Amino acid sequence: MRIRTHLLLLALAALTAAGCGPDQKQTTTLTSPGEKTTIEFALAEDGSPTYRVAYEGATVIDTSTMGFDFQGQPALQKGMKITGVKHSTTNETWEMPWGEQREVLNHYNEMVVSLQEAQAPKRTLNIYFRAYDDGIGFRYEFPRWEGVDTLVIQNENTQFRLTGDHTCWWIPGDWDNYEHLYHTTKLSEIDALSVGSPVDHGGRMHIAENAVNTPVTMKTAEGLYLSFHEANLTDYAGMTLVVDPANLALRSGLVRSDRLGYSVKRALPFQTPWRSIQIARRAGDLIESNLIVNLNDPNRLGDVSWFKPKKYVGIWWEMHLGLSTWDYEITQSMNNWVGEDVGNVGHGATTANAKRYIDFAAANHITGLLVEGWNTGWDHWAGFEDREGVFDFVTPYPDYDLEEVVRYGKEKGVELIMHHETSAATRTYEQQMDTAFALMQRLGLHSVKTGYVGTILPKGEYHHGQYMVQHYRKVLETAANYQIAINAHEPIKDTGIRRTLPNAIAREGLRGQEYNAWSPDGGNPPEHLPIVAFTRMLSGPIDFTPGVFELSLKNKPNNQVNTTLAQQLALYVVIYSPIQMACDLPQNYEGNPALQFIRDVGVDWEQTRVLDGEVGDFVTIARQERGTGNWFVGSITDENPREVTINFDFLEDGVTYKAAIYKDGPGAHWKDNPTSIQIETAPITKGQEMTFALAPGGGLAVSLMRE
């Protein structure tokens, strides 16, 4: 279904002030369809563009300035006049080919403000504003300028002035890495420069100034939630937000290329990504908001039904636990990654081991298998400087029969997920990827996990700069030509591109489960995921790799997974991804009745309801599976135990659902009793209310199957 009305309300708006001189204040206003958000655009006395945002009538972003610094051009900031204002409305519904919900309402009012310098060189700038009921977005458009072909941007000076010293959930504005723990502080107390790296991120850490990465989420003293991010990051540098504590403000800080000495180079005309602010009274409404995807362009790939949302297993966790290696022969490079001498363990990616995982998957309704360490090159990756030309993505090690693994998997209904660890040698990957994707196409494989461990080659580039934004996009677009979907690790942040290119299925871009296996700082604390759900997850699907059952990690005495078993199950519902790993070893699942939840749980959703939640404390989400109409509920808590009351009013009337309830058992505790779980079955109907006790670091998972 697709309804689209694009209504031109006003061609040239009536400006609230008469006269158009640069010294006269001019204002124009935009309000969202349900009158929740208002954006006021104004020129300051000196002709600088400013904007202000209100929610339900109260200011949430105070008058903030906008402008740019260039190389070889004077700054664009002052002395502007408004030459035109256009208003329009869009009210459409679009369909997600896979996602948290099938239908997405995209209803907004738009205002395009055209500006021009009053004096020579009379450069022009258009600013697009969109007001939604769940937030706002704006972007800059550089039209053609006489005598200027390309623009080199040194700084974008978009300011966000806050109305108080809000509580912020933030990670540092690292140019190379999003794999940080979250901090909870007042805005004025953000100190990103003091955040050391407790873990060696393979040399990938670059925090240039006191800035945060997005999405960054805040709560005001009045209890309003704000989350700042960007949408449709295309051919531009990633944006951090630089903290200006004295003014209680943030300012856009673009990742800069040290190789090239600037942040962005573009030919005119072009548009920047959207700067977005989600605004909500209820924390859970941030998760239900579709602002980020709505700010992206419609599906350009058409039918992508060749990609099927799936659960998958992998020859993966055993490597992170140090039980096998990526390498065929030597273990040196492997040690560089895990950070300790893992001893002389064997190669993980063997044909026989792959078949063992396939057998397990096939017996448990799991339709994907990831195999890492299958191709030559792992003796020379992380930790080496000269990484170009090492991996080729088509040559298997001698003990791995790729064709046979693919054949055996197909026979059992399990599709191989390819693995391309580029070790951040981007030129090699760009040269190799057509050949690598052609091999996958010949084998009938439709998804690949890519990886970018290490500092970016060419030197002087960062994971989040324009060069890499272009690279990640090139990979997505090339893969689409071969009907291949991408799950990127060490990625660029998600900015909703999956709407336009739905082969962007998932990505990492956070401290994932792997840190629990080897990180010397004790892994992810229990509050990590109750923060992630309201920060990183607002940007898009996460390949978190849940499902550890052997939580105490017997062979890693200094590490453990800091959740209960019931929470690991709940993550299949709470953390959204169209590909969900069951990451533990087959032998750790066999015989455990909790495995039934992983067998049953859906991965593709008709609708999603965030029932309750508080950033950093807990969250409860219900999702209805496409096709079956079954519902699944997941709830997770931080280090504090709590009671969660669920009203099953979202169920269909007149249907009795067969529920299986997986809850923390007696004495369950993330630290010393993580596997205590209690499984019960009960009939549940619409409107029933039940209260559950969640253990410290605990969770709850419920499957509600239509009989």
- Residues making contact with Ca ion (CB under 5 A): 489
Query: ∠243-245-251 over CA atoms, to 5°?
Result: 35
Smallest Cα–Cα separation from 429: which of 439, 417, 421, 441? Answer: 421
To Ca ion, the closest distance from the beta carbon of 213 in angstroms equals 15
Could you tell which of Ca ion, ligand NOJ, none binds residue 541, using a CB distance below 5 to 8 A set by kind?
none
Could you tell which of Ca ion, ligand NOJ, none binds residue 373, using a CB distance below 5 to 8 A set by kind?
none
Segment holding 358, helix H or strand E: helix 351-362
Smaller CB distance to ligand NOJ: residue 242 or 510?
A: 510
Smaller CB distance to ligand NOJ: residue 115 or 349?
A: 349
Is-contact 135 277, C-beta < 8 A? yes
To Ca ion, the closest distance from the beta carbon of 596 in angstroms equals 30
Burial of 59: CB neighbours in 10 Å, binned 0-12, 13-18, 19+: middle
To Ca ion, the closest distance from the beta carbon of 506 in angstroms equals 13
Q: For the chain, what is the total number of helices (H) and then of strands (E)? A: 13, 37
Query: ∠540-494-546 over CA atoms, to 5°?
Result: 50
To ligand NOJ, the closest distance from the beta carbon of 489 in angstroms equals 4
Angle at which helix 426-443 crosses helix 466-481, to 10 degrees, equals: 20
Smaller CB distance to ligand NOJ: residue 204 or 446?
A: 204
Smaller CB distance to Ca ion: residue 405 or 424?
A: 424
Smallest Cα–Cα separation from 660: which of 694, 701, 605, 625? Answer: 701
To ligand NOJ, the closest distance from the beta carbon of 432 in angstroms equals 16
Report d(CA 22, CA 203) in Å as an integer.
49
To ligand NOJ, the closest distance from the beta carbon of 634 in angstroms equals 23
Burial of 706: CB neighbours in 10 Å, binned 0-12, 13-18, 19+: middle
Using only the alpha carbons of the chain, give its radius of gyration. Answer: 25
Is-contact 578 97, C-beta < 8 A? no
Could you tell which of Ca ion, ligand NOJ, none binds residue 372, using a CB distance below 5 to 8 A set by kind?
ligand NOJ
Helices (H), ranges, 487-641 = 514-518, 528-532, 565-574, 586-589, 595-600
Smaller CB distance to ligand NOJ: residue 508 or 604?
A: 508
To ligand NOJ, the closest distance from the beta carbon of 227 in angstroms equals 25
Binding interface with ligand NOJ (CB under 6 A):
316, 372, 421, 451, 453, 489, 508, 514
Smaller CB distance to ligand NOJ: residue 87 or 420?
A: 420
Smallest Cα–Cα separation from 310: which of 503, 580, 576? Answer: 580
Could you tell which of ligand NOJ, Ca ion, none binds residue 544, using a CB distance below 5 to 8 A set by kind?
none
Name the DSSP class of 82.
E
Smaller CB distance to ligand NOJ: residue 372 or 550?
A: 372
Report d(CA 640, CA 467) in Å as an integer.
43
Smaller CB distance to ligand NOJ: residue 79 or 203?
A: 203
In three-state secondary structure terms, 60 is strand
Report d(CA 505, CA 447) in Å as an integer.
9
Could you tell which of Ca ion, ligand NOJ, none binds residue 87, using a CB distance below 5 to 8 A set by kind?
none
Is-contact 342 322, C-beta < 8 A? yes
Report d(CA 204, CA 466) in Å as an integer.
17
Could you tell which of ligand NOJ, Ca ion, none binds residue 156, using a CB distance below 5 to 8 A set by kind?
none
The residue at minimum Cβ distance from Ca ion is: 489
To Ca ion, the closest distance from the beta carbon of 490 in angstroms equals 5
Burial of 72: CB neighbours in 10 Å, binned 0-12, 13-18, 19+: exposed
- Single out the catalytic residue among 230, 318, 461, 514: 514
Smaller CB distance to ligand NOJ: residue 415 or 543?
A: 543
Name the DSSP class of 346.
P
User: Helix/strand/coil (H, E, C) string of 269-310?
Assistant: CEECCEEEEEEECCHHHHHHCCHHHHCCCCCCCCCCCCCCCE
Concatenated DSSP letters for 520-553? TT-S--TTHHHHHTTTGGGTS-B------SSTT-
Smaller CB distance to ligand NOJ: residue 151 or 321?
A: 321
To Ca ion, the closest distance from the beta carbon of 179 in angstroms equals 6
Which residue(s) pair with 140 in the sheet? 127
Smallest Cα–Cα separation from 334: which of 376, 375, 378? Answer: 378
To ligand NOJ, the closest distance from the beta carbon of 453 in angstroms equals 5
Could you tell which of ligand NOJ, Ca ion, none binds residue 451, using a CB distance below 5 to 8 A set by kind?
ligand NOJ
- The identity of residue 612, as a single letter, is D
**Catalytic site residue 40?**
no
Concatenated DSSP letters for 115-180? EEESSTT--EEEEEEEEETTEEEEEEEE--BTTB-EEEEEEE--EEEESS--EEEE-B--SS----
Q: Which residues are annotated as catalytic?
A: 514
